[in-house]
Amino acid sequence: MTAGCSLAMVGLGRMGANMLRRLARAGIAVCGYDVAEAARTAVAAEPGVTVAATVAEAVASLRTPRAVWIMLPAGEITTQAIQSVAALLSPGDVILDGGNADYRDTMRHAAALAARGLHFIDVGVSGGVWGLEEGYGLMFGGPREAVTPLLAVFQALAPARERGWVHCGPSGSGHYTKMVHNGIEYGMMQAYAEGFALLQAKPDFNLDVAAVAGAWRHGTVIRSWLLDLAAGALRQDPVMDQVAPVVADSGEGRWTVREGLDLAVPLPVTSAALNVRFASQGHGDYGARFLARLRHAFGGHAVDPAKPPKA
């Protein structure tokens, strides 16, 4: 494979594949790799994209200094990918991690790679499935000498060349900033959820909740992209009775609350939003049953029987 690509993307899931497409459409030659053949095939026809059958082949496609962007779930799978890629690189080359990693892990990776003469850039990426068309919000950390040659990549991914991205500081600062970003997101989402639940719970007014959401999108102090998404969801399914009331947490909310404890910074909104997610996952069930029995013990209040599990 001829060495002519500017960047290799390892991990072609929903985010990685669309980021690869956005870069290629901006005229940046890119190479993609994923362990799943179907993921590689899905981007193979995109103009400007080269697809590699192995990580080694992806690295071989790159001009020097080489830059490999890892876009995988945080944790052991990313750690293994970093180690595998590092073994194929030379001093002066760059590894970027765009997953939602714990910034403490990021700092350890950066130190280990620096000892081998490799640069490490941690990139917090926001934008989800809309990023291909709208652009991605990027917050990255790492040494300036590694960041500067890749500015064209960040600018191509961002919503506009001069906005939507920030070099936060040293290694770890990008993932730290994204952690705080996601903590804020938890609180905003919870506030919207509670407000719309309150609207839905008032049958006296027969409120058109979707229409209210649509009106709130314009001219109000609570308008936002999250509200835009909420309005669209409510237009399609205002009752949402077919959606299970279970909300997962990716880990960043936990890390944000942990950081608040470590720094003695009160985070009541983020903590409450995280606790609501735990409760939705069933982690509050025993405590709720305990409270029901305790009310019965001291006041004789009735205890509702447990519902049988759904088939």
Q: Catalytic site residues?
A: 178, 185
Residue 10: CB partners within 8 Å, gap ≥ 6?
Answer: 16, 33, 34, 55, 58, 68, 69, 70, 71, 72, 81, 85
Contact 37, 45 (CB under 8 A): no
119-126 sheet: strands from edge to edge? 49-51, 30-33, 7-10, 67-70, 94-97, 119-126, 137-141, 165-169
Report, in angstroms and rounded to the nearest whole number, the Rg of the chain calculated over CA atoms: 23
Token digits of residue 252: 């960043």
How far, in Å, CA of 188 to CA of 186, rounded?
Answer: 6
Burial of 82 (0-12, 13-18, 19+ CB in 10 A): buried
